[in-house]
Amino acid sequence: MNTHMRMAGLAAAVGLLLVMGPGCSTKAVQTASDSESGEPAVSKEPPVSEQDLLAKSPSGSGPAGGSKEIQVAKVAPSDAARRHAEEVKKERAASALAGLQDVFFGFDSWNLSEDGKQALEADAQWLQSNPDKVVTIEGHCDERGTQAYNLVLGEKRAKAVRNYLVELGVGSGRLTVTSYGKERPFCNGHDESCYQQNRRGHIGLRVR
């Protein structure tokens, strides 16, 4: 397929995913966490009126430059954080109960170690004997480096895990890949023992 055709195909595929004009909602990707019901309350910057006291005509009164204040709507209270935290807890417990093992990486590396491969071989066996189960492979990083680069590094780790599981015969349709970079560490310390815990590919068993 030539590049032109690929770009055209891509654009068409993306067209389905992208949201068109303003006001259009994106039902395809919106989740239940949307609080689209009703107009959000705008916590307006309190207005300041401004008048130039040096202006020749006294009619120079009014909110000159008043439109420049950035207005921020008030956020509706949400229990999303609690819900996410509960789900994470449940998934971690389910992964532990199933005996699924995580894999660990060297600094700035996404290469699987021999230990890591062994762990994944056990995970693959479990997945093959539990064909109805699906997992999310989360890539994690230690706190060093930038947020953005660690998102990419975490994804490389998660994909290395996914690719090895696929190589071992697990259907790729049962494996979702994501990366949390350094944002969701397992260990909250700031030394190498913690860093090592956080350079991780986590096998999260999906709970329904």
Partner 1 sequence: MKQIRTITVLAYVVVSAGLVGIMESAATDVFLEATRPDFQKIPIGVLEFQGQRVPGEAAQRVAEVLKADLQRSQIFSVTDLAKLGIKVDEKLDLLNGAQLPLFKQAADNGVAVLVWGKMATRDTDLVFDGYAYDGGTAELLIGKRYAGGPPTLRQMAHRLADELVSRFTGEPGIARTKIAYVSDQRGGRELFVMDYDGETPRQVTADGFLDLTPQWSPDRRYLVFTAYRNRRKQTVDMIELATGKRRTLVALAGLNITPVFSPDGRYLAFATSQDGNSEIYTLDLRTNGLQRLTFQPAGDLSPFWSPTGRELAFTSDRGGGPQIYIMNADGSNVRRLTFEGDYNAAPAWSPRGDWIAFVCRTQEALFKLCLITPDGQKRLQITTGPGIDDSPSWSPDGRHLVFSSMVDDQSHIFMINRDGTERERLTKGGMRHSSPSWSPA
Q: Which of 89, 109, 190, 207 binds partner 1 (CB under 8 A)?
A: 190
Full 3-state SS string of 161-196: HHHHHHHCCCCHHHEEEEEEECCCCCCCCCCHHHHH
Site size toward partner 1, by CB under 8 A: 81
Q: Which of 149, 167, 172, 192 binds partner 1 (CB under 8 A)?
A: 149
Are 201 and 157 a contacting pair, CB within 8 Å?
Answer: yes
**Interaction of residue 2 with partner 1, rule CB under 8 A:** no
Tell me the closest approach of the beta carbon of residue 72 to partner 1, in angstroms.
4
**Interaction of residue 56 with partner 1, rule CB under 8 A:** yes
Are 204 and 166 a contacting pair, CB within 8 Å?
Answer: no
CA 172 from centroid of its chain's CA atoms: 20
**Interaction of residue 45 with partner 1, rule CB under 8 A:** yes
Pairwise CA distance, residues 77 & 91, whole Å:
25
Piece of the chain touching partner 1 by CB under 8 A; list 42-50, 94-102, 120-128, 195-203: 42-50
155 sits in which H/E element: helix 147-167
Residues 58-87 that bind partner 1 (CB under 8 A): 65, 68-85, 87
**Interaction of residue 188 with partner 1, rule CB under 8 A:** yes
Strand partners, 161: none
Q: Which of 8, 173, 207, 205 is nearest to 102 (CA)?
A: 205
Residues 168-187 that bind partner 1 (CB under 8 A): 176-180, 183-184
Question: What token pair was written down for 43?
Answer: 């916590």
Piece of the chain touching partner 1 by CB under 8 A; list 30-38, 97-105, 165-173, 193-201: 30-38
Binding mask 109-128 for partner 1 (x = CB under 8 A): --------------------
**Interaction of residue 4 with partner 1, rule CB under 8 A:** no
Which of 66, 169 has the CB closer to partner 1? 66
Tell me the closest approach of the beta carbon of residue 118 to partner 1, in angstroms.
26
Cβ contacts of residue 75 below 8 Å, gap of 6+?
Answer: 40
